[in-house]
Amino acid sequence: MITRPLAALAALLLALAAWPAQAAVTMTFWSRDFGDYFPHAFFQLRGTLDAGGAPVDVSYGFTARSVTPAILFGNVAGQIERPKLTYMQGSKVRFAVTLSDAHYAAVLALVREWDAATGDSTYNLGKRNCVTFVREAARRAGLVTVDFPKLMKKPTSFLHAVAAANAAQVRVIEQDGRTYLAEHPPLDASVPIDAPVSTPGALPGKNGEKTG
Strands (E) in 12-106, as ranges, are 25-32, 40-47, 56-64, 76-83, 92-99
Q: Mean per-residue pLDDT for 28-54?
A: 90
pLDDT digits (tens, 9 = 90+) for 31-42: 998 666 678 999
Query: Which residue, 88, 92, 100, is CA-closest to 169?
Result: 100
Q: Computed from CA positions of residues 126, 127, 133, 137, in that sequence, does the dihedral angle turn out positive or negative?
A: positive
Q: Mean per-residue pLDDT for 138-159?
A: 97
Indicate whether 145 pLDDT > 60.
yes
Q: Which residue has the higher pLDDT, 82 or 208?
A: 82
Contact 8, 16 (CB under 8 A): no
The confidence score (pLDDT) of residue 11 equals 47
Indicate whether 141 pLDDT > 70.
yes
* Domain residue ranges of the chain, discontinuous segments joined by +: 23-60+81-112+130-198
Indicate whether 25 pLDDT > 70.
yes
The confidence score (pLDDT) of residue 5 equals 53
Mean pLDDT of the chain: 87
